[in-house]
Amino acid sequence: MQRLLMAAAIALALVACAFAQQRAYDYKNLTADDIAEIKARRHEFYTAKSQGKQEAIRLAQLQKATYLDGNEADYNVKYYGIDVYLNFSNGSIVGKVDYVIEAMVEGLNAIDLNLATDLTVDSVRFGATAAGYSHAVDLLSITTPAPIARNAQFSMTVYYHGTPRFVGEQGMEFASVYGNTMCWTNCEPFGSRNWWPCKDHPEDKPDSVDIYVDYPSTYKVMSAGAIVSDVSSGTGRKRIHFNHNYPVATYLVAITCANFTTSTQTWNYGPYSMPVYSYTVPNIPQAKQSFETWMIPVLNALSNRFGTYPFATEKAGNAHYGWGGAMEHQTCSFYNPTFYDDWVIAHETGHQWFGDMITCKTFNHVWLNEGFASYSEPIFFEQQYGFNTYKSWLQSQKYLGGGTIYVENILTDDIFDNNLVYDKGSWVVHMLRGVLGDSVFFNVAMPAWYNSPFKYGAATTSDFTNVISTAVGHDMSWFVDQWIYGDGSPNYQIAYRCEPEPGGYRLAYLIRQTQSGGTYFKMPIRTRFVTTGGNVDTTIWNEGPVELYTLHFADSVTNVIFDADEWILRQVTTVPLQMTILTVDLPDGEINSPYAQSLEAVAGTPPYSWTFLGGDLPFGLNFTGGTVGEISGTPTYAATFYFSIMCQDASIPPASDTSSFAITIIPQQGLPGDADGSGGVSISDAVYLINYIFAGGPAPNPMSAGDADCSGAVSISDAVFLINYIFASGPAPSCP
């Protein structure tokens, strides 16, 4: 699918400037202008987020025969222990990484790791044994001292030093951030290799990591996991140890170090009590205030809706860094100091579930990260302010244009498309909630995803579909296919007319899908019929270009309210119902059974005039046109017949409608003469017929079974025919 590539070069200074003028919104009473402004602000933010990532993904994927590099498919990393000494005087590091690795092939004799050649490897050791290695084109290729058996685990250490790389907003940077000296990392998707040697792909998460940072004692450091210790390591230096006892994608391991103002809150939730950290630059106190105000309400809201915060045994937090956006680093999101809106906190924290706990396996499926994180924004507002604010926020995420959410080609498509991956991605989750209903969505589907085999792993769209389908008990691929892999959204045109009928009222209700592109959507439409006797709320399933519904009501219908709460990403217009043929489906007929069906029309100016346009009526049936509009006769041949009929009304010039019909004629059911359905023809059938004709007994079923003489009707002659057959060797009942 061709899509417009977003202009990537919005100057960060401009973004920062725009965000410096934040104003507070009355979220409960957002105006249309507010919503438009919020949408623009959100897109500035998302655009800032995608800076550099797009190109980094392209470069990492370009000209690669396989997704992984070197022999990375041959082993599985179980553990990383990352140890870096930060040298602010020249922007360099001295590093060491410990590994526990499992061989996935027999006789593993090499290990390839991603590592920028800007960094110099000093040695590689397997315990006391030094190993050989080469380092070129950002790939560190290590030779194991001896071949390693499949499934055997072994330990290894890489020692390195140098000036880390920072290109395309990826890697480690020493810089001044709003006047504050800082060292920080930003690595989605493939930038971890720019500061530490690793298997730098999200599908292989280690079971745990330790991170040790040696830093100037006047600063503070934030990273992933629980703070184990933070002690002096020499004159003017400290060494901090973080332990993260969860799987984590390499791009979600990060550090930031500066003269932060720090504070700690406590989040209590169920059996959990964990610290919530705020690490902010001292000269933007609004950020500290916002983090401290909103982080705990966000954790509560998202835990209530999506399942307990996935790292509740360790910590959560928000910290500053120098990149232009914000990034969902595991257990502590990092933000540019100008980003501190409540919805940004909800977005990044939402990623701890979606992106961190469950990571997209490849960036084709990045909506599993960004769509859900974007949906965390309205979910937070719903919990905080109520359903109307939820709905208003979704208006700022509304996108009715083209393109697929699924990223078909990560080399040529915009992976971080604001409209598709973020906004429409959020709407897809909202619509899934609408289709399933709150109870199933929140109590069945979301817990199933939260507890799925992909928890703390990596998943694709089809993994998601399978988990949700199994949980709710029916195949949801129709939903995912049309909204994730499909293009566009429905434009509904509705028309209706209510008329009296015996016992109440008949509503003719027509729904057309008028969007271009030929993709028609299947969706349940929450509908309110306003009647003179009160509201009737129901759900109407709609599919295909035109559907006509004939509905019966006790009272007259005065209004049809279509999807009032916008559970569907759509447009809708209401038009007067034009003269319309109301008959949609004609019933099957049966050979030798009389058939009669009148056609019906609605609206326009009666009387209606019917004309057979073309095609084939079943043999034996005739069409009576003019004001009658009836198909009748006795079918004689079994097949499906197709024809079309036009109806005109009495206005001048006349309005007209044309419908195509099909009638299937089935073979004669039941044995001719077997009036009592016993499976054979005997004198009891004659008795059965006499009882039916003269004594009000039950009718033959099917009626044609009683028509022993093939006259087209059941009468006493059929009983006579049977008696003649049984007792006087007359002809057997067998219609031609």
Q: Which residues bind Zn ion (CB under 5 A)?
A: 370, 373
Residue 154 or 449 with smaller CB distance to Zn ion: 449
Instruction: Rank residues 356 and 674 by Cβ distance to Zn ion and give the closer one.
Output: 356
| Closest to Zn ion by CB, 323 or 643 | 323
Q: Minimum distance between the CB of residue 350 and Zn ion, rounded to whole angstroms? A: 8
Residue placing its CB nearer to Zn ion in the complex, 405 or 551: 405
* Shortest CB 485 distance to Zn ion, Å: 21
User: Is there a contact between 556 and 505 (Cβ–Cβ < 8 Å)?
Assistant: yes
The minimum distance between CB 371 and Zn ion, in angstroms, equals 9
Q: Minimum CB separation from Zn ion for residue 196, in Å?
A: 23
CB distance 457 to 358 below 8 Å: yes
Residue 186: name the closest of 165, 162, 157, 215 by CA: 165
Q: Which among 331, 328, 340 is positioned nearest to 291, based on CA atoms?
A: 340
Would you say 405 or 498 has its CB closer to Zn ion?
405
Which H or E run includes 327?
strand 326-327
Residue 650 DSSP code: S
The distance of closest approach from Cβ of residue 347 to Zn ion in the complex, given in angstroms and rounded to an integer, is 6
Tell me the residue type at 360.
C
- Shortest CA distance to 549 belongs to which of 502, 585, 588, 501? 585
Q: 370 or 674, CB closer to Zn ion?
A: 370
Q: How far is the CB of 326 from Zn ion (least distance, A)?
A: 8
Which residues, including other chains, have CB under 8 Å from residue 397's CB and lie 6 or more apart?
39, 42, 374, 377, 378, 422, 423, 424, 426, 427
719 Cβ contact list (under 8 Å, min separation 6): 686, 689, 690, 693, 708
The residue number with the shortest CB distance to Zn ion is 373
Task: Pick between residue 425 and residue 670 the one whose CB is nearest to Zn ion.
Answer: 425
Smallest distance from the beta carbon of 275 to Zn ion, in angstroms? 24
Q: Which is nearer to Zn ion, 96 or 430 (CB)?
A: 430
Say whether 101 sits in a helix, a strand or coil.
Answer: strand
Give min distance, CB of 222 to Zn ion, in A.
19
Give dist(CA 21, CA 24) in Å, integer.
10
| CA torsion through residues 194, 455, 242, 335, sign | positive
Least CB distance to Zn ion at residue 261 (A): 25
End-to-end CA distance of the chain: 58
Question: Closer to Zn ion at the Cβ: 356 or 676?
Answer: 356
Residues in the chain: 736
Q: How far is CA 637 from the centre of its chain?
A: 49
Minimal distance, residue 384 CB to Zn ion, in Å? 20
Tell me the sheet residues that pair with 497: 508
H/E stretch holding 154 reads: strand 153-162
| Ordered strands of the 133-136 beta sheet | 108-114, 139-148, 133-136
Smaller CB separation from Zn ion, 310 or 673 = 310
Residues 29 and 37: their CA atoms lie apart, in Å, by: 14
> Mind giving me the DSSP string for 156-181?
EEEEEEE---EETTEEEEEEEETTEE
The distance of closest approach from Cβ of residue 152 to Zn ion in the complex, given in angstroms and rounded to an integer, is 39
Q: Where are the beta strands (DSSP E) in 468-608?
A: 491-501, 504-513, 523-531, 534-542, 546-553, 557-562, 571-574, 580-581, 589-590, 595-598, 601-602
Query: In this complex, which beta carbon is closest to Zn ion, that of residue 368 or of residue 431?
Result: 368
According to DSSP, the residues that pair with 685 across neighbouring strands are none
Sheet holding 491-501, edge to edge: 546-553, 504-513, 491-501, 571-574
Nearest residue (CB) to Zn ion, 373 versus 599: 373
Are 46 and 54 a contacting pair, CB within 8 Å? no
Nearest approach, Cβ of residue 349 and Zn ion (Å): 10
* CA angle, 521 then 376 then 351, to 5°: 110
CB of 476 to Zn ion, least distance (A): 24
The residue (of 325 and 488) whose beta carbon lies closer to Zn ion is: 325
Beta partners for 510? 495, 548
User: Measured over all CA atoms, what is the biggest interatomic distance in the chain, rounded to whole angstroms?
Assistant: 125
* CB of 351 vs Zn ion, minimal distance in Å: 6
Which CB, 370 or 685, lies closer to Zn ion? 370
Residue-by-residue DSSP string for 223-280: -SSEEEEEEEEETTEEEEEEEE-S---GGG---EEES-EEEEEEEEETTEEEEEEEEE
What's the min distance (Å) between Cβ of 412 and Zn ion?
22
Beta strand spans in 361-513 (E):
457-459, 491-501, 504-513
Nearer to Zn ion by C-beta: 112 or 370?
Answer: 370
Specify the DSSP class assigned to residue 443: I
3-state secondary structure of 92: strand
Residue 172 CA from chain centroid, whole number: 34
3 state DSSP class of 401? coil
On whether the CB atoms of residues 69 and 59 are closer than 8 A, the answer is no
Q: Indicate the residue among 352 and 704 with the shorter CB distance to Zn ion.
A: 352
Neighbours of 535 (CB within 10 A): 10
Shortest Å, Cβ 354 to Zn ion: 9
